[in-house]
Amino acid sequence: MKIEVQNFKDTRSGFGDGLLEAGKRNPKVVGLTADLTGSLKMGDFAKAFPERFFQVGIAEANMVGIAAGLAIGGYIPFTGTFANFSSARIYDQIRMVVAYSNKNVKIAASHAGVTLGEDGATHQTLEDVGMMKMLPNMTVLVPCDYNQTKAATIAAAEHDGPVYLRFGRPKVANFTPADEPFVIGKAQMIQEGKDVSIFACGHLVWKAIEALPILKEMGINAELINIHTIKPLDVEAVLKSVAKTGCVVTAEEHMRNGGLGDSIAQVLALNNPKPIEMVAVDDVFGQSGTPDELLKHYHLDTPDIVEAVKKVIARK
């Protein structure tokens, strides 16, 4: 893939614009929010399709139930609130009326991870991917930039079944091609290499891209793959890459327990055990700070990926 930074944009705007586009393409697409229209960038959709937009008030449990009801009636509802209130807050509701009942509900989860920043740990979910990937029937998407989040939103609307779509707050490099369609379950090759496989998702894909020239200078030819779909995981792509490189680094803005790294480790353990290092949060809650400060503090930054690569290659 040719990496070219087009601009700096927030992934949540990718969701908002993707929702608008999905709404134009399919009159069955509807939006719901729990008092976070602006934060989720759902305003354009609400303006374009007022009759298809539901302001539920600060009542996330009710929102997901209403969404399941709309899905029963043939609609494709997208619920929009912060990731923590899209997961932990309403886990049983999602479990029963969305996942178990297999309803075509799309859970749009914004402000995920520590890059939410100053609001602190109450709002910085680092556990949501783990919770969501444990639910049968649930598809879990963690796109990496504006373009990909927009494409993922459109793909989620076209996919038949429950989807958890995770994205974030800050403006970050927008580098994937605008016209690249999002294929659920198909890992995205960013750079081919032979010495180590880096599997990243979300904001950490860009951090991994920044690590590539540093690694090259050290004589390490790294392969970087964007795992934008945590579930269903592209097991074939993972195993193919590992067969070539023989070691793995995972990078994500999530707790190590339950995250992307733990999914990849399971694939390795079951199929082709190889050394693995995980760039992830190690069993602590977040805190207030700027997104950049927090990425550094929790060792989710470019130098941390470089270190992990060095370490895992030494273990080969």
Contact positions toward other proteins, by CB under 8 A?
A: 30, 51-52, 54, 56-57, 59, 61-75, 77, 92-93, 95-97, 100-103
Query: Least separation, in Å, of the C-beta of 39 and other proteins?
Result: 20
Nearest to 82 by CA among 99, 46, 58: 58
Q: How far apart are CA 312 and CA 205, in angstroms?
A: 18
Q: How far apart are CA 155 and CA 69, in angstroms?
A: 22
> Of 73 and 232, which CB lies nearer to other proteins in the complex structure?
73
Name the catalytic one among 21, 60, 223, 253: 60
Query: Least separation, in Å, of the C-beta of 101 and other proteins?
Result: 5
Q: How far apart are CA 29 and CA 23, in angstroms?
A: 5
Query: Least separation, in Å, of the C-beta of 41 and other proteins?
Result: 23
Query: Least separation, in Å, of the C-beta of 124 and other proteins?
Result: 24
Active site (annotated) includes residue 60: yes
Please state at what angle helix 204-217 crosses helix 302-314, rounded to 10 degrees: 60
Query: Least separation, in Å, of the C-beta of 56 and other proteins?
Result: 7
> Of 36 and 220, which CB lies nearer to other proteins in the complex structure?
36
Query: Least separation, in Å, of the C-beta of 112 and other proteins?
Result: 24
- Please give the biggest Cα pair distance in the chain: 59
Q: How far apart are CA 74 and CA 154, in angstroms?
A: 17
> Of 66 and 251, which CB lies nearer to other proteins in the complex structure?
66
Nearest to 276 by CA among 298, 308, 303, 305: 308
Nearest to 262 by CA among 134, 170, 115: 134
Q: Is 186 left (phi over 0), alpha (psi -120 to 50) or beta?
A: beta
Report CA-CA distances (Å) from 21 to 14, 86, 176.
10, 22, 18
> Of 101 and 191, which CB lies nearer to other proteins in the complex structure?
101
Residue 217 burial class via C-beta count within 10 angstroms: exposed 0-12, middle 13-18, buried 19 and up: exposed
> Of 69 and 120, which CB lies nearer to other proteins in the complex structure?
69
DSSP for residue 115? G
Q: How far apart are CA 122 and CA 78, in angstroms?
A: 23
Tokens 């991917």, residue located: 129
Which residues belong to the active site?
Answer: 60
